[in-house]
């Protein structure tokens, strides 16, 4: 867990990624949803609630919307084709700040499932700010399922109830492309335990069909 205070992390985040050059530009950008999200994060904090301890029942779960994007292999993909018949941990983030948060879920996931067939990690980076060397710093084994979405992200954010670009989000998706569990912010120990159990249960159920 990152022990820095929120103000310290925000200061670090903007020191390496902000391209704001003038006060006038800052005032203008603050009016957008992006800067409103920053203000909301400052007021309410990184974690709004702890994720449910049980999976969403299949008949109540919503389908993950299909995303047309590009992978780090520079190929065009439809996410439904990658999700189908797999149990997937999908992480969604918009910047380094969100990426650091979702890593708190990714690390225990990879420790548990890195060598398990049909259980995969898919990372979706909704490009808002330029992050250099992203292809170089991402392990080659993850390039196929690391996707970049450069188009208008409004449809995806509304479909997934993502309203703050400064938080990272994770979704457990079953073999039928249904969202069975979700969380945000930094993972708590209980959330990690729940996530791993749900993924194991979904994979076991899929294999027994």
Dump the DSSP string for 96-135: HHHHHHHHHHHHHHHHHHTT-TTEEEEEEEE-SS--TTHH
Quote the mean pLDDT of the chain.
Answer: 79
The sheet carrying 68-71 orders its strands as: 76-78, 68-71, 146-149, 119-126, 87-93, 169-173, 179-184
pLDDT of residue 133: 64
pLDDT of residue 150: 62
Which stretch of 101-105, 125-129, 138-142 has the lowest confidence by average pLDDT? 125-129
88 pLDDT exceeds 80? Answer: yes
**Residues whose CB is less than 8 angstroms from the CB of residue 51 and which lie 6 or more positions away in sequence, other chains included:** 181, 182, 183, 184, 191, 194, 195
Give percent of the chain above pLDDT 70: 75
pLDDT of residue 161: 82
| 7-11, 89-93, 131-135, 159-163: range with highest mean pLDDT | 89-93
Helices 96-113 and 6-17, packing angle to 10 deg:
100
Residue predicted with more confidence, 175 or 125: 175
List the structure tokens of 38. 């920053």
Of the pLDDT bands very low, low, confident and very high (cuts 50, 70, 90), residue 205 is: confident
pTM here? 0.76
SS3 content of the chain, % helix, strand, coil (to 5): 40, 20, 40
2 pLDDT exceeds 60? Answer: no
Domain annotation for the chain: domains and CATH numbers: 1-209 (3.40.30.10)
Rounded average pLDDT over 135-146: 79
144 pLDDT exceeds 90? Answer: no
Which letter, b or e, does each residue of 63-78 get, where b requires 16 or more Cβ atoms within 10 Å of its Cβ? ebeebebebbeeeebe
């Amino acid at each position: 867990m990152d022990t820095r205070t929120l103000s310290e992390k925000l200061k670090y985040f903007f020191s390496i990624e902000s391209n704001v050059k003038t006060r006038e530009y800052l005032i203008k950008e603050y009016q957008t949803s992006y800067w409103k999200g920053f203000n909301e994060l400052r007021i309410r904090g990184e974690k709004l609630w702890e994720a449910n301890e049980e999976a969403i029942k299949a008949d109540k779960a919503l389908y993950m919307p299909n995303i047309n994007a590009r992978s780090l292999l520079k190929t065009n993909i439809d996410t439904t084709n990658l999700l189908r018949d797999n149990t997937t941990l999908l992480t969604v983030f918009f910047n380094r700040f969100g990426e650091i948060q979702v890593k708190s879920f990714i690390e225990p996931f990879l420790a548990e499932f890195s060598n398990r067939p049909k259980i995969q990690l898919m990372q979706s980076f909704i490009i808002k700010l330029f992050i250099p060397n992203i292809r170089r710093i991402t392990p080659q084994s993850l390039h196929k399922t690391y996707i970049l979405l450069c188009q208008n992200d409004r449809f995806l954010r509304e479909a997934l109830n993502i309203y703050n670009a400064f938080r990272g989000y994770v979704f457990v998706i079953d073999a039928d492309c249904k969202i069975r569990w979700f969380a945000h912010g930094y993972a708590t120990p209980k959330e990690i335990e729940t996530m791993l159990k749900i993924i194991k249960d979904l994979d076991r159920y899929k294999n027994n069909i």
